[in-house]
Amino acid sequence: MSRFPRPDYQSLDLYAPDRRPVALDLADNTNRWGPHPGAVTAVRAADDDTYTRYPYLYANDLRDAIVRRYGVPADSITTGCGSDDVLDSAFRAAAPEGGTVTFAGPSFSMVEPFANMNGRRAVEIPWSRALADPETLLAGDPVLVYVCRPNNPTGESAPRAWIDALLAAVARRGGPLVILDEAYADFAPESLLAEAPTIPHLLVTRTLSKAFGLAGFRVGFAVGTPVVAREVEKSRGPYKVSRIAERAAVAALDDEDGWVTRTTLEAVENRAKLFAALQERGLRPIPSCANFLLFQVPDGSARAWNDALRAQGVAIRPFPACPDVGDAMRVTVAPWPMMERFLDALDTVLAEGSAPAPPGARAPDRKAAE
Ligand X SMILES: *Cc1c(COP(=O)(O)O)cnc(C)c1O
Question: Which is nearer to ligand X, 245 or 357 (by Cβ)?
Answer: 245
Question: Which is nearer to ligand X, 209 or 301 (by Cβ)?
Answer: 209
The neighbouring-strand residues paired with 178 are 145, 202
Question: Which is nearer to ligand X, 31 or 312 (by Cβ)?
Answer: 31
Question: Which is nearer to ligand X, 250 or 277 (by Cβ)?
Answer: 250
* Smallest gap from residue 210 Cβ to ligand X (A): 6
Write out the chain in H/E/C secondary structure. CCCCCCHHHCCCCCCCCCCCCCCEECCCCCCCCCCCHHHHHHHHCCCHHHHHCCCCCCCHHHHHHHHHHHCCCHHHEEEECHHHHHHHHHHHHCCCCCCEEEEEECCCCCHHHHHHHCCCEEEEEEHHHHHHCHHHHHCCCCCEEEEECCCCCCCCCCCHHHHHHHHHHHHHHCCCEEEEECCCHHHCCCCCHHHHHHCCCEEEEEECCCCCCCHHHCCEEEEECHHHHHHHHHHHCCCCCCHHHHHHHHHHHHCCCCHHHHHHHHHHHHHHHHHHHHHHCCCCECCCCCCEEEEECCCCCHHHHHHHHHHCCEECEEEEEECCCEEEEEEECCCHHHHHHHHHHHHHHHHHCCCCCCCCCCCCCHHHHC
Question: Which is nearer to ligand X, 215 or 304 (by Cβ)?
Answer: 215
Question: Which is nearer to ligand X, 167 or 290 (by Cβ)?
Answer: 290
Beta 177-181 vs 220-224: how paired, if at all? unpaired
- The burial of 97, by beta-carbon neighbours within 10 Å (0-12 exposed, 13-18 middle, 19 or more buried), is given as exposed
Residues that bind ligand X (CB under 6 A): 29, 82-84, 108, 148, 152, 181, 183, 207, 209, 215, 220
Question: Which is nearer to ligand X, 181 or 255 (by Cβ)?
Answer: 181
* Smallest gap from residue 85 Cβ to ligand X (A): 7
d(CA 41, CA 64): 19
Question: Which is nearer to ligand X, 145 or 349 (by Cβ)?
Answer: 145
* Smallest gap from residue 323 Cβ to ligand X (A): 16
Find out whether 225 and 199 touch, Cβ atoms under 8 Å. yes
Question: Which is nearer to ligand X, 43 or 215 (by Cβ)?
Answer: 215
- Rounded to the nearest angstrom, the gap between the alpha carbon of residue 205 and the centroid of all alpha carbons in its chain is 10
Find out whether 119 and 142 touch, Cβ atoms under 8 Å. no
Question: Which is nearer to ligand X, 162 or 221 (by Cβ)?
Answer: 221
* Smallest gap from residue 287 Cβ to ligand X (A): 18
* Smallest gap from residue 7 Cβ to ligand X (A): 28
